[in-house]
Structure 1
Amino acid sequence: MDYEVEYRTAASKETIGVPEHAYVALVDALRAVGRDPFDPATSRPTSVVNVRHVVFAQSGLALVFVDTTERRVWVFRIIWAG
Structure 2
Amino acid sequence: MFAPRHAPNLLRLKAFFARQFRQMPTAQFMAVFGAYADRLDQDILPRFAPAVLASAASGVREHDDELPLRPEEGTT
Q: Relative to total residues, which structure has the larger helix share, 1 or 2? A: 2
* TM-score normalised by the chain length of structure 2: 0.35
Higher RCO (C-alpha 8 Å, min separation 6): 2
Q: Relative to total residues, which structure has the larger strand share, 1 or 2? A: 1
Bigger Rg over Cα: 2
